[in-house]
Structure 1
């Protein structure tokens, strides 16, 4: 997948546990874990906003685009 979620990196920088972040964002541990482990297919902007607020960061601190070498460039 081209989008990588670096949530674990930001959580470590802020010394925040998954449980603490889940409580601050009002999201289940299971859903937050799916996001943290790059298993999510989508994320709502409201959720991303709440995560950024709780971690005092920007969306670009959490989300990263990595080009997939197998796909090359595609025009959509």
Structure 2
């Protein structure tokens, strides 16, 4: 899921790839409300995961964001 999150943020949300690393905080990576909205939309459309934007933005780092999404995916499978 980490690869998916980084891909969505850098290719769909158009964030610069350099700062979007697993250990980066969402702020350091440039993840804003628009990026979170795009991520939520892609997760729902491509993966069938419905996760509120507030839940996604409550994580600290890119890696924690990916872990949260993966946990949600497993819980709803």
Q: Same fold (TM over 0.5)?
A: no
**Between Structure 1 and Structure 2, whose CA radius of gyration is higher?**
1
Higher relative contact order (CA 8 A, sep 6+): 1
TM-score, normalised via structure 1 length: 0.41
TM-score, normalised via structure 2 length: 0.40
Larger fraction in strand: 1
